[in-house]
Structure 1
Amino acid sequence: MRVAFVSFETASHRDTETNHRFQTALELLASHGHDVHCYCAKFWAGETSTLEQDGITYHAVVAGLEARRSFLVRLPFVLAAAAPDIVHTRAQPSAAVLAASCGATLARAPLVVEWYGDGGIDDDQWTQLAAKRGARLVTPSELVATWVRERGADGELVEAIPNPVDLERVQDVPLGEQVDVIYARRLDEAANLESLLLALAELRDRDWQTTVIGDGPERATYERLASDLRIDDRVSFVGDCSLEERIAAYRGAHVFAQTAEHCVFPTEMLWALASGCVGIVEYHVDSSAHELVEGWDRGFRTTSEAELADAILSAGDLEHRTFDDRFADYDRSAVAEAYLEQYRTLEEAYGLL
């Protein structure tokens, strides 16, 4: 299958959560033997207008990110000439969706639009127009699906496909140090680590140890709070860690606590749950994390520090695990198949099979 991905900005331009999500989709399709092309602004050196990398062919529609208008003008004709089976575009910038839609029409190919929403989704006229384009709209969670419907999308066309994890990799990583509770996220203004620290302070008469993974502008503030609450001797701030180090830590931990106020998909929590952790989520209106634990006997949803403390105590009665096959549907192979199933359905609908 020949798939034309459209991403004006890529993970090679800027390492953001949204860019990484889209890059993962390219890599999943390429790893399954499909003919994957990405039409983007150029990010590589040299005179060549294409770059072959990791089974993906990148095409420079324009020379750099400063040429957005030229990208929008050229894109429909570039896609028409490429003759792909599927056109798969990012939802941002919104104008690129409209250009990709024109290109898909010229190429007589179905259009898939990928909505992610890291940092939120605008509600302006361009976004509303973009929400009405595409034969299939892909989101990472029901939370983002709701946002897209609120912008005018046809709910029948929206499909949630999660971020993937690698279950084989989880099982291959040796166990890390045993701790009772673990937290992992960039420590910024939305981290809301104070909820966990306040809950732990209520349990200071119990025997527990906690690890906080991640760094950021609010780290010093959280370290001071732990000291003020007199629990700093049992809370270890270890800073940024590699994925291998994080998986090892999750496999050694008993509980993963998710308290962030904004999260379109809790990828780090998913790694932890697949590594055997019990999941405790503090509910927030702009977070989808609760979706992972709903209806699961090793998951807790809380709305306050008191409930969070109670959940930590209740989690202590559950067995310690180092792997959980319940999350097989989130493995890279399963997520790749979810994308391919959408493509096949569209090809059949368009009479291309």
Structure 2
Amino acid sequence: MRVAFVSMHTHHTRDTPAIRRRTRLIRLLNQTEHAVVVLCSRWWDGDHPTFEHEGITYRAVDGECSPNHFIAKLPLALRRADPDVVHIPNTPARHARAANPVCRMLRIPMVVDWWAVGDDDAAGDCRRVASNADRIVAPSQTVETVVREYGGSEASISVIPEGIDFSLIESAPVNTEFDLVYSRHLDEHANVETFLLALAELRDREWSAAIIGNGAAAADIERTARDLRIRDRVSFLGELDDEQRVAVLKGAHVFAQTAEREPFATNLLWGLACGCVGIAEYQTDSAAHELIEQKSRLPDTRGELVSTPQEFADEIVAAGSLEHRTIDPAYERYDDSKILDRYLTCYRQAIDNYGLF
């Protein structure tokens, strides 16, 4: 199978959760017998149209990261790539909308990987993408609902969550320095304040907390911890490599999930797989509840959904009665290899179904 990933930006030019998700998939797929080509704007030096990096082939659709030029040149790029299936993000919606008639003309099924609607995406474009894609991949039921609201049919949507490297969790050391952990990119949606307010309620108890991640909101979050008089007990670790982060998670007892926007709560998944008790604040635009609420969580998952800092503090205290774990074998079902199999199944369905019409 030959899969063409279409995206103006790659992880070389922009860092977003959706791009990180797609990059992991490209790397995993590239390690199989299947062929991968990435159609993107040129991010490498020189004007040569094709560039191979870390075993992955990149082909320049345009050299300017210009949305209009990218759309105009995409038909020829798709024709030259000659893939069996096209994998494209839902945003920018104009790109996915423009790719659809080209794929129809070339008789190539188009799989849309839907993470979140972009700020510049028009509702009409989103509706056309949702209704015209051959298959749509959503990371959670929360996102699936959004896709259906835009007109996507239930039969066309595959819910494929984020994956984890379970072998890393098995092999990583244990860092027992911290009792409670928050881990995420610290942007305007991080909402670490809820976690800090809960910790402030427990300032008379013994605990140590770590915040993993960096971002534009980091300074404000640290200032809040100082204002609440708990800064000396909260360590800001910044960005950690995967093994360091997993070591902290394996040593912690509670993972705090409070972010306001999470199409899939990837960091919470890592925390649960590392044996943490997950405590999540309910947020309308977050899918975190899908991992820990009673109706959808894995059997024996330890976690609770809360609505206020006081409830959060109460659950931290309650978690103290539970045994400490460094791994939860049940989460091996989220291993990258199993997630890759689900993508391959989705691609095959798109190809098989396309041949019926």
- Do both proteins adopt the same fold according to a TM-score greater than 0.5, normalized to the shorter chain? yes
Other structure's SS at 1:197 match: helix
* Aligned AA (1:28): L
Mapping 1:185-224, distance limit 5 Å: 185-224=184-223
CA–CA distance in 2 between the matches of 1:210 and 1:153?
42
Q: Does 1:55 align with 2:92?
A: no
CA distance in 1, matches of 2:323, 2:175: 17
Q: How does 1:105-144 map to 2 (within 5 A)?
A: 105-117=104-116, 122-144=121-143
| Cα distance in 1, alignment partners of residues 351 and 118 from structure 2 | 32
Decide which of 281, 294, 311 is 1:307's aligned counterpart.
311
* Alignment match of 1:347 (pick from 346, 351, 356): 351
- 1:182 is matched with 181
Q: Which residue number in structure 2 is paired with residue 31 of structure 1?
A: 31
1:35–1:56 Cα contact (<8 Å) kept: no
Structure 1-normalised TM-score?
0.93
Does the CA-based 8 Å contact 2:89-2:114 persist in structure 1? yes
Matched-pair contact (CA < 8 Å) for 1:181–1:210 = yes
Range moving further from structure 2, 280-289 or 209-218: 209-218
Question: Are the equivalent residues in 2 in contact too, given 1:85–1:109 (CA < 8 A)?
Answer: yes
Match of 1:298? 302
Q: Distance in 2 between matches of 1:43 and 1:124?
A: 30
Question: Residues 6 and 218 of structure 1: is their aligned pair in 2 closer, same or farther, counting only changes over 3 Å?
Answer: closer
Q: Residues of 1 paired with 2:249 and 2:78: CA distance?
A: 43
Report Cα offsets for 1:162-218 as digits up to 9, x if no partner.
121101012221111342211112333322111111112222232211112223333
1:322 and 2:321 equivalent? no
RMSD between aligned residues: 2.0
Alignment of 1:325-336 (within 5 A): 325-336=329-340
> Secondary structure of the residue that 1:199 maps to in structure 2?
helix
Give the distance between the partners of 2:320 and 2:228, measured in 1 at CA: 22
**Do the aligned partners of residues 163 and 250 (structure 1) sit closer, same or farther apart at CA in structure 2, a change above 3 Å counting?**
same
The number of residues matched between the two structures is 351
Q: Specify the code of the residue in structure 1 equivalent to 2:209.
A: T
Tell whether 2:71 aligns with 1:72.
Answer: yes
Structure 1 residues 85 and 219 mapped into 2: Cα distance closer, same or farther (>3 Å)? closer
1:255 to partner: Cα distance: 0.6
Q: Secondary structure at the match of 1:217?
A: coil
CA distance in 2, matches of 1:72, 1:29: 26
User: How many angstroms does 1:322 deviate by?
Assistant: 0.9
Using the size of structure 2 for normalisation, the TM-score is 0.92
Asked whether the equivalents of residues 115 and 139 of structure 2 are also in contact (C-alpha less than 8 Å), the reply is: yes
**CA distance change for structure 1 residues 97 and 215 in 2, over 3 Å: closer, same or farther?**
closer
Native 8 Å contact 1:162 1:335 kept in 2: yes
Judging changes above 3 Å, is the alpha-carbon distance between structure 1 residues 149 and 6 closer, same or farther for their aligned structure 2 residues? Answer: same
Residue type of the alignment partner of 2:151: G
Q: How many angstroms apart in 1 are the aligned matches of 2:24 and 2:265?
A: 15
Aligned pairs for 1:223-234 (under 5 A) are: 223-234=222-233
1:18 aligned partner: 18
Say whether the 8 Å CA contact 1:118–1:263 is kept in structure 2. no
Secondary structure at the aligned position of 2:115 is classed as coil
Q: Partner of 1:48: helix, strand, or coil?
A: coil
Structure 1 regions of 5+ residues with no counterpart? none
Deviates more, 1:198-207 or 1:343-352: 343-352
Aligned position for 1:42: 42
Give, in whole Å, the separation in 2 of the partners of 1:71 and 1:16: 20
Match of residue 276 from structure 2: 277
Q: CA deviation at 1:42?
A: 1.0
Task: Supply the AA of the counterpart residue of 2:336.
Answer: R
Segment drifting more, 336-345 vs 234-243 = 234-243
Structure 1 residues 30 and 131 mapped into 2: Cα distance closer, same or farther (>3 Å)? same
More deviation, 116-125/20-29: 116-125
Residues 42, 224 of structure 1: alpha-carbon distance in 2 compared, 3 angstrom cutoff:
closer
Aligned partners of 1:227 and 1:93: how far apart in 2?
A: 40
Structure 1 window deviating more from structure 2 (7-16 vs 79-88): it is 79-88
| Aligned residue in 1 for 2:96 | 97
Q: Give the letter aligned to residue 209 of structure 1.
A: S
Checking the alignment, whether the CA contact within 8 Å between 2:91 and 2:118 is kept in structure 1 is no
Structure-2 separation of matches of 1:226 and 1:70: 47
Moved more, 268-277 or 227-236: 227-236
Instruction: Indicate whether 1:254 and 2:253 are aligned.
Output: yes
Query: 2:287 is aligned with what amino acid?
Result: S
- CA positional deviation for 1:155: 2.5
User: Shift in Å at residue 123 of structure 1?
Assistant: 4.8
Percentage of matched positions with identical amino acids: 44
Matched position secondary structure for 1:249: helix
Q: For residues 121 and 280 of structure 2, what CA distance do their matches in structure 1 show?
A: 26
In the TM superposition, 1:139-178 aligns within 5 A as 139-178=138-177
- The whole-number CA distance in structure 2 between the counterparts of 1:311 and 1:123 is 41
One-letter amino acid matched to 1:313: V
Verify the 8 A CA contact 1:132 1:154 in the aligned structure 2: yes
Aligned AA (2:60): A
Amino acid of the residue matched to residue 182 of structure 2?
A: Y
